[in-house]
Amino acid sequence: MINNPPEGSRIEIERNIHSTSYIWKNAKRGFSFQYAFLFFWLCGWTIGGLMALIRIFGESFEEEEERCFMFAWLTFWAVGEVVVISILYFALRPQKPSVLTLSPGRIHFETGTRPLGSFNAYYEMRHPMAFFQICRNKTYDLEASQIDNLKLERVGERQRLTFDYGRERVEIGDNLTEPEREWLYNLLREHK
């Protein structure tokens, strides 16, 4: 069995009597001007929405259509605010690390969560729901024999460590270095 990750690796190892867990943090999130701008923009957006709300309920309109238009406009305004709040939430929330746990005959893998902005734009355009996949921590708990087609392959300029689980292709360590992925590949191959 391969015991230690490559020199300088971000992978931490936790051993207990029944299993060994390999834990790594996903891409780091740094301070971004975009997030600060969105926060201040959101403050102005909220003030504008409150002013429109006060106008709807506080003033009389010459025609009822004006009030209906303002209410419809405010509804779309609120939807925009919810979108910005959700972007800020997913961008700034605490991240969960990826965890690969190997126990006799079993593999447990948690994808962890990545900061917003650490995803592939090309993939996002082809898969509209990918934004929500990136923002959640997906868990796979399976028997080692259920892993099909374990591969360490190069796709373009990028190396990928993947396995098939049913109809789904699962990627492990997409933000790790190549030596770390190679080490995990050998570890999983030996565990099968």
Tell me what pLDDT residue 121 has. 46
Burial of 30: CB neighbours in 10 Å, binned 0-12, 13-18, 19+: exposed
User: Hey, which residues does 151 pair with through a beta bridge?
Assistant: 162
User: Hey, which residues does 161 pair with through a beta bridge?
Assistant: 152, 172
Q: Which fold is adopted by the domain 12-28+95-191?
A: PH-domain like (2.30.29)
pLDDT per residue as tens digits for the range 79-122? 989 888 887 887 777 778 889 999 998 999 998 876 665 444 44
- Cα separation, 56 vs 65, in Å, equals 12
- Cα separation, 181 vs 35, in Å, equals 31
pLDDT greater than 60 at residue 183: yes
Tell me what pLDDT residue 122 has. 46
Rg of the chain, C-alpha, whole Å: 23
- Cα separation, 74 vs 77, in Å, equals 5
Q: What is the mean pLDDT of residues 154-168?
A: 86
Return the minimum-mean-pLDDT range out of 90-94, 134-138, 180-184: 134-138
Q: What is the mean pLDDT of residues 52-72?
A: 80
Q: Domain limits of the chain?
A: 12-28+95-191, 33-92
Tell me what pLDDT residue 9 has. 86
Tell me what pLDDT residue 130 has. 53
Per-residue pLDDT band for 133 (boundaries 50, 70, 90) equals low
